[in-house]
Amino acid sequence: MSLPVEKARANLRARSRQPPDFPVTGSRWQHYQGEVVAVLGHGFTETDGIPCVVYEGDSGIPWIVELSVWNGRFTVEGNLTGPRFVRIEE
Cα distances (angstroms) measured from residue 19 to each of 24, 32, 41, 88? 13, 26, 14, 23
**pLDDT tens across 19-75, in order?**
568 999 999 999 999 999 999 999 888 888 899 999 999 889 999 999 999 999 988
The pLDDT, as a whole number, for residue 78 is 77
The pLDDT, as a whole number, for residue 31 is 93
**Model-level pTM greater than 0.85?**
no
